[in-house]
Chains A and B, each alone.
Chain A
């Protein structure tokens, strides 16, 4: 679509501001054995993001799946400096939300998490679009 500075409203689950290139999966996403913490590479053989790197990206996926240890895998990825700059879900779940809350406690890293957007974000972002996420207000801005 590419219309500059389109703003989409959602629900801010965790506070903070983040900006980065969009990395979009249309499938449920798994951190446990799905992302390598020491690199941020997606290693889940079944993921449509296999081979991509999540570091600094605005990570967009419908919801989390897989083992309940996923929150530790995600937290470790953040600890090693390889976390995303923001996360956008259709509907978030505890694995994702708890990892982000723990990251702020432990490492002072705030990653905004927004879900329930009023529009389907996957229709709005093109490949390599830059997206801004405001976790305080729940606003997502497609910059370019």
Chain B
């Protein structure tokens, strides 16, 4: 790699231990990818949950914090493994609390905005078109690349914080224009879309694309960002889609031919039957077994989605023998509270949790065997070692299962 004088000095330790480590990691990985240089970024989004980072993740973040590391660009953090305000309610084990606390201290010392949300593009960290950013969190990567047209690879743990404190990332993959064109086409013929259809379409696109870049035709032009959030999350978790183009919707597809004059390698049509088949695949539970917990908010519930739940919940309450948990960002919860949406739902028996989510918290301690969700991502990423079976339904279906008329 060709390094600037400042980067060379960093490698010699001129900017402190944290910067030395960070530049070395970026350069080593960059060299593995044939990258010629480090490029400036304008934003970072890092991982910070104990459930995946383990002690090793704590060691790395603490080492950078002790070495004087400070974020040079606006940097947010993905959800935590612990909602500290509700740790007793959610029966969070003591070791999770203690380890997550250490991560929180390190993250704050490094100058990260403690957002603990997987939807940084809705608050605190909104990139602009064509900006180079370094984001972890696959669903946020899909959103930033596709819906906004910012540029990031799926930044792995370690590289994310090193990019944040140096303000740089090796140039390869989706930072380069020629690697952003579509290679396969999905022609969607559905007519009306339900909220679940976006998750399911995402899963279909993800599974068939692998790491190729899909172009999707047939999404209604008035689609909301909430729904594109769900589409990208499904695609990123069923495959490793980091960027999709949606004709007439996403910016790069509006500015030019996403195939750049080439023919798609493959063309798939997606019909209502394909969606039904995928829904059946995502649901793994025996339909006769009892749902023990219903969860919404993967990715974290937006204010619009919260309002929809509120409206559907009129004159209903959570059944005595079922848990109904909703995950959302702190600012969404606060706004929902100010709007009078939260309190009635809490009174009706819904448990809210902020700053964490079902897939990365200690849900395992509850010993559930059958969970219902409206999220393809949530269904697909539940670790196989949890032995959970899943029923996958739209938001209304989830609410009707979890609640009864007052």
B384 to A33, Cβ gap below 8 A?
Answer: yes
B contact residues around A45 at 8 Å (CB): 384
Q: Is B32 an interface residue (CB 8 A)?
A: yes
Enumerate chain B residues within 8 angstroms of A78, measured Cβ to Cβ. 56
Q: Range of interface residues on chain A?
A: 20 to 34
- The A-B contact count (CB < 8 A) is 105
The answer to whether B29 touches A98, judged by C-beta atoms less than 8 angstroms apart, is yes
Chain A window 31-57, contacts with chain B (Cβ cutoff 8 Å), 1 for yes, 0 for no: 011000100000111000000000000
Chain B residues with Cβ below 8 Å from A92 are 32
Say yes or no: A102 contacts B60, CB within 8 Å.
Answer: yes
**Chain B hits for A61, CB < 8 A:** none
Question: CB within 8 A of A69: which of B29, B53, B63?
Answer: B53
* Interchain CB contact under 8 A, B158 and A73: no
With contacts A65-B240, A97-B29, A101-B24 known, is A70 near B156, CB below 8 A? Answer: yes
Q: Are A72 and B53 in contact (CB under 8 A)?
A: yes
Assembled-state Cα–Cα distance A43/B385 (Å): 8
A residues 52-88 in Cβ contact with B at 8 Å: 65-73, 75-76, 78-79
Q: 8 Å CB contacts to A: which residues of B5-37?
A: 21, 24-25, 28-29, 31-33
A14 at the interface (CB under 8 A from B): yes
Chain A interface (Cβ within 8 Å of chain B)?
13-14, 32-33, 37, 43-45, 65-73, 75-76, 78-79, 92, 94-95, 97-99, 101-102, 105-106, 115
Extra A-B contacts (12), CB below 8 Å, given A69-B52, A79-B59: A33-B384, A37-B56, A45-B384, A71-B156, A71-B158, A72-B158, A75-B60, A76-B57, A79-B54, A94-B33, A102-B25, A102-B56
B positions within 8 Å CB-CB of A: 21, 24-25, 28-29, 31-33, 47, 52-57, 59-60, 63, 136-138, 153-160, 240, 381, 383-385
